[in-house]
């Protein structure tokens, strides 16, 4: 279970009642009158609606361990919260302006008593191994009863899919040799994001990174690395890899290659053996955003790869076709060998 809230010494409902805020009354509403507010969640759909025959549901993408709707008053204090289990939840609130948050798969055992405490929390790729953290937010002015609305919850993480490798060597010697794909993985992969950064729509460089400049075995291998492929790819062939990876957003403005570690752009690396020696084809993403699916439809290789996985791969040596979509449904590709 995730432990985002382990540092919060909060007693839940007792503190909720102690911190309840008196909101300014609206015309026609009696002081202290409770108004019914009904809140639902959208984009938390456990049904895979993909139509491709080669797609299957990813257990982690569909999994919802815990989900809550939290209500904060205009002074930033927690007013109430409810557990969500698939249907709308109801609140009885005095007239006023409130901030409504949805938090999913946080492992919460108690709720942050202030908006500031909520914003101070982080999502991590490691915690997402057991179900992806999702957040949503809306602000509403409640003046009458029977108010009904939904909060759209989105994942903090990013999904990357690599579909096809096209081998089209320009030299006759490489055409005769072909290539063997040993592994595919993400490098310079961000491993965390603060709730404040996500909810505020601003990127701040994380302090946690995986596979800095090269692959290094770690606790998020299942999301970042596909190895031991031994895929033989002859010149002129198209090989379906259909590998799915997960990382956290990376909007680092400037890029670096090799040298001492510094924040840099995320790369999809093809590790291969060509003409008897190991080489790399690093495909760089200019930016990766939360709750987006980056599908690399195909990468075409025309030459032998570079010596190191963080080297520059010149634009005349690679062509790639990338699509970017909202991550709305679960699902990952069935691997084809």
Tell me: the pLDDT tens digits for 149-169? 999 999 999 999 999 999 999
Alpha carbon dihedral 131, 137, 142, 148, in 10-degree steps, equals -50
248, two tokens: 């956290």
- pLDDT for 315 equals 58
Do residues 170 and 319 touch, judged by C-beta distance below 8 A? no
Poorest-confidence range of 45-54, 64-73, 200-209, 249-258? 45-54
Report, as an integer, the average pLDDT of 73-97.
94
Alpha carbon distance 84, 74 (integer Å) = 23
Exposed/middle/buried for residue 155 (C-beta within 10 Å: 0-12, 13-18, 19+):
buried
Q: Which of 130, 138, 142, 248 is nearest to 199 (CA)?
A: 138
Alpha carbon distance 171, 153 (integer Å) = 50
Poorest-confidence range of 128-142, 186-200, 222-236, 306-320? 306-320
HSE toward the beta carbon, residue 63, CA cutoff 13 A: 15
pLDDT tier, 229 (very low <50, low <70, confident <90, very high otherwise): very high
Please compute Rg for the chain using Cα positions.
Answer: 24
- pLDDT for 170 equals 92
Alpha carbon distance 317, 284 (integer Å) = 13
Alpha carbon distance 116, 199 (integer Å) = 12
Share of the chain above pLDDT 70, in %: 82
CA quadruple 288, 194, 48, 333: dihedral sign = positive
Alpha carbon distance 320, 297 (integer Å) = 7
Poorest-confidence range of 45-54, 89-98, 156-165, 230-239? 45-54
E runs forming strands in 195-301? 209-210, 225-226, 231-233, 238-247, 267-274, 277-284, 292-301
Q: Pick the more confident residue, 316 or 101.
A: 101
pLDDT, tens only, 269-278: 999 999 999 9
- pLDDT for 58 equals 64
Q: Pick the more confident residue, 332 or 183.
A: 183
pLDDT tier, 320 (very low <50, low <70, confident <90, very high otherwise): confident
Is a pLDDT exceeding 60 seen at residue 314? yes
pLDDT tier, 65 (very low <50, low <70, confident <90, very high otherwise): confident
Alpha carbon distance 265, 267 (integer Å) = 7
Residue 214 phi, psi dihedral angles, 5° rounding: -165, 170
User: DSSP of 42-72, one letter per residue?
Assistant: ES---S-----TTEE--HHHH--S-EEEEEE
**Average pLDDT over the chain, rounded to an integer:** 85
CA quadruple 325, 326, 329, 333: dihedral sign = positive
pLDDT tier, 265 (very low <50, low <70, confident <90, very high otherwise): very high
Report, as an integer, the average pLDDT of 77-100.
95
Q: Which of 157, 68, 63 is nearest to 112 (CA)?
A: 68
- pLDDT for 165 equals 95
HSE toward the beta carbon, residue 144, CA cutoff 13 A: 3
Q: Which helix (H) or strand (E) holds 333?
A: strand 332-333
């Amino acid at each position: 279970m995730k432990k985002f809230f382990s540092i919060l010494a909060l007693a839940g409902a007792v503190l909720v009642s102690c911190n309840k805020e008196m909101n300014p009354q609206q015309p026609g509403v009696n002081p202290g009158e409770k108004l019914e507010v009904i809140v639902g969640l959208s984009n938390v759909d456990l049904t895979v609606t993909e139509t491709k025959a080669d797609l299957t549901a990813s257990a982690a993408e569909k999994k919802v361990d815990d989900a809550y709707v939290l209500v904060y008053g205009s002074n930033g204090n927690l007013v109430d919260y409810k557990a969500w289990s698939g249907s709308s939840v109801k609140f009885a609130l005095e007239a006023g302006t409130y901030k409504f948050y949805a938090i999913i798969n946080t492992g919460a055992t108690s709720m942050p008593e202030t908006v500031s405490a909520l914003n101070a929390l982080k999502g991590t790729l490691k915690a997402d191994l057991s179900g992806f953290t999702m957040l949503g937010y809306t602000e509403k002015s409640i003046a009458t009863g029977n108010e009904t609305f939904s909060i759209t919850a989105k994942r903090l993480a990013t999904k990357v899919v690599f579909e096809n490798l096209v081998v089209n060597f320009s030299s006759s010697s490489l055409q005769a040799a072909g290539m063997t794909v040993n592994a595919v993985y993400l490098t310079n992969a961000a491993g965390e994001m603060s709730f404040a950064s996500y909810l505020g729509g601003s990127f701040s460089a994380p302090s946690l990174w995986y596979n800095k400049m090269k692959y290094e075995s770690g606790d998020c291998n299942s999301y970042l690395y596909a190895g031991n492929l031994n895929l033989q790819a002859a010149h002129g062939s198209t090989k379906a890899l259909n590998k799915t990876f997960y990382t956290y957003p990376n909007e680092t403005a400037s890029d670096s290659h090799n040298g001492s570690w510094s924040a840099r752009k995320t790369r999809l690396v093809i590790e291969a053996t060509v003409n008897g020696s190991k080489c790399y084809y690093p495909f760089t993403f200019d930016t990766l955003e939360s709750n987006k699916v980056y599908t690399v439809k195909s990468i075409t290789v025309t030459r032998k790869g570079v010596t190191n996985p963080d080297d520059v791969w010149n634009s005349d040596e690679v062509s790639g076709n990338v699509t970017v979509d909202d991550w709305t449904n679960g699902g990952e590709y069935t691997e084809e060998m």
